[in-house]
Amino acid sequence: MREYLGHESQYYGVEEHRLIGGKGDGIRLLEVNNGNGIMFTISLDRAGDISRLYKDGKNLGFFAPCGYVSPKYYDNRGAGFLKSFTAGFLTTCGLTAVGSPCTDNGEELPLHGNISHTPAENVSWWTDDSIHIKVVVRDASLFGHKLILTREFECPIGSDEIKITDAVKNIGDEETPYMILYHFNLGYPLVSENSKLTIKSKGVAPRNERAAEGLENALIMEKPQSGFVEQCYYYDMEEGYAEIYSSEIDTSLSLSFDTKELPFFTQWKMMGKGEYVLGLEPGNCSPDGRDVMRKSGKLKFLKAGEEAKQTITIKIKKGQE
């Protein structure tokens, strides 16, 4: 292929940009093109999360009303997270707290933790048969927990997939709680009342009474509605696989992961007007808060020097998988 190209970027590659103006001013972005219709944006100042994802020019993710918001505007009190929750295709939650704000062991914890508002460092990228991107995100403080997230993206050139591999290491000398949840947010036109959702599970439980009202239709996408109240469902996964297919754009997107690494799976169904999003969320915890996870005996920990790894593969293609 190389003999056809003046510069590799005419077919594939990575370009770094910065936002100008508004609350997103200065945010560093990597624009990635794999030469097969997959284009995505990595937000370096938001933990190396994926803010935008396209296939053949069609949007696949959800962008929240606040838009891009720099970490300098982050409010870590209670549910202040929502003021700067861009959502995007992927928001990482953790690394010592996920889910509802709570107080656990005397520590006040915000909604979904701090990691998604932490800038990445040691950023690098290179290409061979694939596009490789590597970032480091430091979640550490004096007299507090000390965790390092090393995130690697691999996107084969001309393929239909993106692989994300995360390694989280406790570089401190004390054991620390470890919670991580991958908040994948899917939006229109991938998500509409004509979309078909498949989750390979052995069973499903509603998070609360509101979710129980729609349990039979949990997998059914609906038209946008005024006053819709979110519904969350917890799945007992048969295997680590979920897929959504849109007949409108004849495109499917699937997530594959190891349930030994990520044994929890949450579906967030939000069918509101202007707040129309489907969340598919593998994790090592539920989004009920660290205090609840501790009481249930399911809270994960990392010992001093210990490392945990998780890999998720995203596949996007024409037609249904």
Q: Give residue-wise pLDDT tens across range 128-143.
A: 999 999 999 999 999 9
Tell how far CA 32 is from the center of its chain.
Answer: 17
- DSSP 8-state class, residue 86: -
Average pLDDT score over residue span 146-164: 98
pLDDT in tens, 101-129: 999 999 999 999 999 999 999 999 999 99
- Is 266:297 a contact under the CB 8 Å cutoff? no
% of the chain with per-residue pLDDT over 90: 98
pLDDT in tens, 246-277: 999 999 999 999 999 999 999 999 999 999 99
Q: How far apart are CA 110 and CA 301, in angstroms?
A: 19
What lies within 8 Å, CB to CB, of 302 at 6+ separation is 147, 168, 169, 170, 175, 176, 178, 308
pLDDT at 2: 81
| Helix extents (H) in the chain | 209-213, 290-296
> In the predicted model, what is the mean pLDDT of the chain?
97
pLDDT grade for 212, boundaries at 50, 70 and 90: very high
- Is 264:285 a contact under the CB 8 Å cutoff? yes
* 0.95 surpassed by pTM: yes
Q: Which residue has the tokens 């962008």?
A: 63
Which structural domains are found in the chain, ordered by start?
2-318 (2.70.98.10)
Q: How far apart are CA 88 and CA 90, in angstroms?
A: 5
pLDDT at 49: 98
pLDDT at 321: 67
Q: Identify the burial level of 120 via C-beta atoms within 10 angstroms of its C-beta, where 0-12 means exposed, 13-18 middle and 19 or more buried.
A: buried
| Secondary structure (3-state) at 187 | coil
pLDDT in tens, 292-308: 999 999 999 999 999 99
pLDDT grade for 1, boundaries at 50, 70 and 90: confident
Amino acid letter at 98? V
pLDDT in tens, 35-89: 999 999 999 999 999 999 999 999 999 999 999 999 999 999 999 999 999 999 9
